[in-house]
Structure 1
Amino acid sequence: MARRLSILKQPIFSTFNNHLVDYPSPSNLSYWWGFGSLAGICLVIQIITGIFLAMHYTPHVDLAFYSVEHIMRDVQGGWLLRYMHANGASMFFIVVYLHIFRGLYYGSYASPRELVWCLGVVILLLMIVTAFIGYVLPWGQMSFWGATVITSLASAIPVVGDTIVTWLWGGFSVDNATLNRFFSLHYLLPFIIAGASILHIAALHQYGSNNPLGINSSVDKIAFYPYFYVKDLVGWVAFAIFLSIFVFYAPNVLGHPDNYIPANPMSTPAHIVPEWYFLPIYAILRSIPNKLGGVAAIGLVFVSLFALPFINTSYVRSSTFRPIHQKLFWLLVADCLLLGWIGCQPVEAPYVTIGQIASVFFFLYFAITPFLGKLEAKLIKNHCA
């Protein structure tokens, strides 16, 4: 027993024990609190499969598309690696989006967890950049034209816009230099995301997890193991089944068929769309007729998310006890789904008008937040009086 205790006091084991075994958790945590660990599993899957795929990938405009086909056809288990990596990206975003909406519903961004939320927004931004440049690597039609359209948006930035585009391209068009630097960044960024995730967990564990009631649970906590790991394990098994269905039975359902056509700068696809997890932001971008305004709107999405902990005025965290906010939250969820649908529709009436209305409501949610907390406090005071 004494030897076991001395081993647990070693730095590596004590850190593991304090943060994953004996970590004090609120006793009323639900299954919604399992998406953080699921996101970590998704990141590990992406890093491991990405490393093995990089061993066979050739970042050259003449060979990239065919190297991906080589992985699929000739490398033993290559098809599994590719499908796990491609569908794993979608699973990663599904898990993170659910994690974010759970945080919005239960007020996990409220003081004293501002840093936890802000680091989460940084991770989301890094994920979007990583996924975008990864989408370019297969060098299919949608990869090439998606890269051309999205990177050219930077030209709308006054003074330095054209310089930024030239730097992103590594020249005067999307070409071999672009593919090389995108491949390098795509290999590097997941490790930066992993580092940011560690900081995210450290910031979370400084004050402890929020809980469904949103109240101070410091007097009612139990060890993570053996009580809560079982809930996480159930989520991991369900996630493994969900991912397996896509990998083995519908590996291409979340992708675009045009990306199985080699990139051709002389032939523009009829309808350029990004991957599904970019569609809500893409819809907001398209809703602004001015290019600079569209870029500013994308920036405002992340500014709004960053600002949320600091503009929140509600003394109550959980939406369970905030009926007005609860309704607004579900309207926001529906609005994001609507924006995702609009993002894959043609740029024509009535889709443009619907996208503009949905974009206005998205930002309206954050604009209302500071006043909503004061309104709810006033209603509670009047009710108590």
Structure 2
Amino acid sequence: MSNPQAWSSLVRFIRQYYATAEGLVPLHAPCFDQREKDLVTNCIDSTFVSSVGQYVTEFEQQVAAFTGAKYAVAVVNGTVGLYLALKVVGVQSNDLVLTQSLTFVATPNAIKMHQADPVFIDVEPETMGLCPAALKAFLTEHSDQRNGRCIHRQTGRVIRACVPMHTLGFPARIDAILDICNQYNIALVEDAAESLGSVYHGRHTGRFGQLGVFSFNGNKIITTGGGGMLITDDAELARHAKHLSTTAKVPHAWLFEHDEPAYNLRMPNLNAALGVAQMQKLPQFIAQKRQLAQHYQHQPGLVMQKEPANTQANYWLNALMCQDQTERDAFLDWTNSQQIQTRPLWTPMHQLPIYAQALRGEMTQTEWLAARVVNLPSSVVNDA
């Protein structure tokens, strides 16, 4: 790929696609029109701008219906959504939680918020998500089953949960991961932050584990400014998550009674109003993103990440594969100098000083991908 003609051709395509002859082409910008403004104005006029109001419930119902989940719980961001999901599946202080190193820092941070520790497992190049074979190998070598719990053999600590991520919207092999978790008595929580609109074997991501968690940050496929959502088919997990997110307040017309230590994590109605408007456009956004992915895949000289068989990716961010880190860095330098915003994947978590001492398996594929992948501009275009 490393030739000036291929790079120049790509930049010309991006500027033509986004009708931006000069100036910055962002990596991923939100797409708003009058509908969002109208609902936000309605919310302001109602005076219900905090965690009580019609739009929070409506947004939850829309996400549940779209994904096929029975229940949805709206929270203030995806990170606390992961924290809350881990809380209700029983993660405790000193537990171990399996996850991938190739992820955004919010994933292990949510684990550390419980005073638990992440254990990093390698990913696979086909999905960029947690590798079932690596997961199985780690558990076979390092764990035992005792009294219905999975115990890390060297430390005696409980391996309580597993948090794979659907990287950039490409579904991980979540059915195989679920089978392993069930075999080892490990709770499964899906980090689906980037994968709203992605489907694995006909089923929406986030619906294989006990819970799935989406993010609605400003750079996601739909946004509420800041926000997250837990989905589940388990009525008790949904009830407990919502209860904890609303300070564990016992329902009453006027008394303030709370029955367990809890949190104030409910999504504000103002943010949810944005979400309701955005959900109406989600099918259009997905279709446009998939079309853009096709355009990128047909650009000369590019090797793009493609959705694996039997999956449908939302192509939240399109992923270009470079030959090596030298080419990656040269491409990043050149495109950003042309005001085309491109970005590498996250620094792998095990390479960050804050997580360098965490337990981990081999990181061969994680490090290979991190050295090569570049994300290209992937915003949707406002047709309004």
TM-score range, shorter chain: under 0.3
TM-score by length of 2: 0.27
Q: Which is helix-richer, 1 or 2?
A: 1
